[in-house]
C-alpha cells in the first residue's frame, strides 16, 4: 500500500536517527579515555550491545600504543564490529547461551592476577547483563536461562530483573571489580536504564550493589519465578549477597556514564527545533506496560491537538525509558511496536498526529525491526487489510500488524543502546495540506 505521509515519516525518522547518533560510541567515548598507565598492562573487557563499537573506538582513539591493548568484549549476535587488538565475542540476548557463558568465564580469568600497576578498562552498555552469563555455584546455565525468560515475560521492570540476575551471578553486582583488585578499574558505560543507575546498567559488575538477597527473593516470589533449590536457599541464607558500598576492594574503581537517553532526547529535540517544530521532552525514564504508556501519551497528544496544552501544534512529544510487555498472547512484537498499536487505538486515527517508537539498539525485543511508524491512516489501512487492532493487541501481535502495513522501521544493529525512543508529532490543520 502506498505511503501517503512521507514528509512526516521523514521528520520522525530523522529525529530517531539524531537520537541514535548522539549515543554513537565513536562520538561519545573518546573524550573519556584515560592516559595509559605509566607501568603495567591495560586490559579491556566489556559487555553489551555497544561493546564492540566501544572497543573499536578505544583502539582508534587510544593515547598510547594500541598494539599494547588486550582483552575481550562480548556483544549480541550481529552487533560485532572490526577490531585489531581487542577480541570481540558474540553471544545470545536476551536469554543467555553457552557463548556468553564462556565469554564471561574468560573475562573473569582475564582480570585475575593483575597488579596495582595495571588498568582494567571496562566497557558496558545495555544488554550486558544477559551477555555476561556466569551463574553462581549451584545454578546451571539452562536454569539461569529459564529464570531470565520467565522474568522477561512476566512484566518485571529492568531493575527487578537485574536485581535477581545480580544475586544469581558470579560476575555481576560488583563481583567483576573484586576479581580485578588490586588493579585500577575504570568503567565507561552507555546507559540504557531509567535513572542511569550504574548498579543496574549491565547489572553493575564493577560497582557496589545496593540491592539485597531479600530484595531478589521478594521479586522472585511476587512474580512466581521458579528457582533451583540451591539458588533459593542461597537467597534465603544470604550466601548469595553481593558486595556493598564501603568494601575496600572498590577503592580503586571509578565509573562514568558517557551517553544517556536524556542526551539522545536532547539531540532529537534540537533536530526538531531546527525544523520549526517545538519539542517537549516528557521524560527519559518512562516505565510501565507499553499499552498503558500509549494511553497516557496519546491523551497528551490529543490535548495538544485540541487545546494547545501543554503545547500548541506544530510540536513533538519526545520520551524515552523502558516500557514492559506482559505476554499473554502468542503473537510477535516488541514493546515499541506494542506501544504504537496501543497508541493507534488511543488516537483513533486523529488526522493531525503521527508517531514513531523504536529501540535505539535497532532491535525491538527479539524481532528484526527497531520499531515502527504510525500515521492517521493506520486504523483505516488496517481495516482495509482486515486486521482487528484490538484483537492483535490482546494477542501481543503488534509486529505482524506493522509488518503487513509496511510500517516497520528496520535499521539493523546500531551498536549503541540508550533504550526506547518515542516521538509523537502533532501538526496543525494547515499542516495537513502540505502532506505528500
What pLDDT does residue 154 have?
86
The Cα–Cα gap between 142 and 126 comes to 22
* Cα–Cα distance list, 348 to 361, 378, 388 (Å): 29, 9, 13
In this structure, the number of other CB atoms found within 10 A of the CB of residue 431 comes to 16
Model confidence at 390: pLDDT above 80: yes
First vs last Cα of the chain: how many Å apart? Answer: 15
What pLDDT does residue 5 have?
60
The SS3 call for residue 45 is: strand
The tens digit of pLDDT for each residue in 216-267 reads: 999 999 999 988 888 899 999 999 999 999 999 999 999 999 999 999 999 9
The SS3 call for residue 186 is: strand
Give the pLDDT band of residue 4 (cuts 50, 70, 90).
very low
The tens digit of pLDDT for each residue in 155-210 reads: 888 889 889 999 999 999 999 999 999 999 999 999 998 889 999 999 999 999 99
When computed from its CA atoms, the radius of gyration of the chain, rounded to whole angstroms, is: 22
Nearest to 87 by CA among 128, 118, 124, 43: 43
Side-chain half-sphere exposure of 244, counting CA atoms within 13 A: 6
Local structure of residue 345 (DSSP, 8 states): H
278-286: strand order across its sheet: 278-286, 315-321, 420-426, 353-359, 371-374, 408-409
Model confidence at 431: pLDDT above 60: no
The tens digit of pLDDT for each residue in 134-159 reads: 998 888 888 888 888 888 888 888 88
Extract the C-alpha cell encoding 299.
491523551
The Cα–Cα gap between 106 and 72 comes to 8
Provide the β-strand partners of residue 320. 421
User: Domain 27-259: which topology?
Assistant: Rossmann fold (3.40.50)
Extract the C-alpha cell encoding 96.
543467555
**Of 108-122, 232-246, 337-351, 420-434, the least confident:** 420-434
On the question of a common fold for 6-20+262-434 and 27-259, the answer reads: no
Helices within 138-289 (DSSP H only)? 141-153, 158-167, 175-180, 213-223, 229-237, 261-274
Domain 6-20+262-434: give its CATH superfamily.
Answer: MOFRL domain (3.40.1480.10)
Cβ(410)–Cβ(352) under 8 Å? no
Span 267-282, average pLDDT: 98
Domain-wise residue ranges, the chain: 6-20+262-434, 27-259
In this structure, the number of other CB atoms found within 10 A of the CB of residue 330 comes to 8
The Cα–Cα gap between 299 and 305 comes to 10
Model confidence at 1: pLDDT above 80: no
Phi and psi of 283, rounded to 5°?
A: 150, 155
Model confidence at 432: pLDDT above 60: no
State the angle between helix axes of 158-167 and 213-223 in degrees (0 to 180), rounded to the nearest 10: 120
Beta-strand pair 371-374/408-409: antiparallel
For 191-328, strand residue ranges (E) read 253-259, 278-286, 315-321
Amino acid at each position: 500500500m502506498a505511503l501517503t505521509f512521507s514528509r512526516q515519516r521523514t521528520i520522525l525518522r530523522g529525529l530517531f536517527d539524531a537520537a541514535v547518533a548522539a549515543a554513537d560510541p565513536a562520538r561519545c567515548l573518546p573524550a573519556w579515555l584515560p592516559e595509559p598507565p605509566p607501568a603495567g598492562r591495560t586490559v579491556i573487557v566489556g559487555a553489551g550491545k555497544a561493546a564492540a563499537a566501544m572497543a573499536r573506538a578505544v583502539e582508534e582513539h587510544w593515547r598510547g600504543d594500541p598494539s599494547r591493548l588486550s582483552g575481550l568484549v562480548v556483544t549480541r549476535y550481529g552487533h560485532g564490529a572490526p577490531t585489531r587488538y581487542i577480541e570481540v565475542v558474540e553471544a545470545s540476548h536476551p536469554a543467555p547461551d553457552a557463548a556468553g557463558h564462556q565469554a564471561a568465564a574468560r573475562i573473569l580469568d582475564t582480570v585475575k592476577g593483575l597488579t596495582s600497576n595495571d588498568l582494567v578498562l571496562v566497557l558496558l552498555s545495555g544488554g550486558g547483563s544477559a551477555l555476561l552469563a556466569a551463574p553462581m555455584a549451584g545454578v546451571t546455565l539452562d536454569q539461569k536461562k529459564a529464570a531470565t525468560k520467565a522474568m522477561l515475560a512476566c512484566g518485571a521492570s529492568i531493575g527487578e530483573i537485574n536485581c535477581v540476575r545480580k544475586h544469581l551471578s558470579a560476575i555481576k553486582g560488583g563481583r567483576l571489580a573484586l576479581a580485578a583488585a588490586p588493579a585500577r578499574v575504570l568503567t565507561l558505560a552507555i546507559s540504557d536504564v531509567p535513572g542511569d543507575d550504574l548498579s543496574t546498567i549491565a547489572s553493575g559488575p564493577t560497582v557496589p550493589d545496593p540491592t539485597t538477597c531479600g530484595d531478589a527473593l521478594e521479586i522472585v516470589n511476587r512474580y512466581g519465578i521458579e528457582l533451583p533449590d540451591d539458588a533459593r536457599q542461597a537467597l534465603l541464607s544470604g550466601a548469595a549477597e553481593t558486595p556493598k558500598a564501603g568494601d575496600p576492594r572498590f577503592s580503586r574503581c571509578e565509573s562514568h556514564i558517557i551517553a544517556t537517553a536524556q542526551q539522545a532526547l536532547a539531540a532529537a529535540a534540537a533536530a526538531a527545533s531546527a525544523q520549526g517544530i517545538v519539542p517537549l521532552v516528557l521524560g527519559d525514564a518512562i516505565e510501565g506496560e507499553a499499552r498503558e504508556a500509549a494511553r497516557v501519551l496519546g491523551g497528551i497528544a490529543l490535548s495538544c491537538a485540541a487545546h494547545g496544552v501543554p503545547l500548541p501544534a506544530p510540536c513533538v512529544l519526545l520520551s524515552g525509558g523502558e516500557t514492559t510487555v506482559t505476554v499473554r498472547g502468542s503473537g510477535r512484537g516488541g514493546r515499541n511496536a506494542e506501544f504504537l498499536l496501543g497508541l493507534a487505538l488511543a488516537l483513533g486515527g486523529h488526522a493531525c498526529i503521527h508517531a514513531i517508537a523504536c529501540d535505539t539498539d535497532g532491535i525491538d525485543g527479539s524481532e528484526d525491526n527497531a520499531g515502527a511508524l504510525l500515521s492517521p491512516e493506520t486504523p483505516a489501512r488496517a481495516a482495509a487489510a482486515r486486521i482487528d487492532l484490538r484483537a492483535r493487541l490482546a494477542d501481543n501481535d503488534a509486529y505482524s500488524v506493522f509488518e503487513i502495513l509496511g510500517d516497520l522501521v528496520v535499521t539493523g544493529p546500531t551498536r549503541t543502546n540508550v533504550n526506547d525512543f518515542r516521538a509523537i508529532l502533532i501538526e496543525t490543520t494547515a499542516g495537513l495540506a502540505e502532506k505528500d
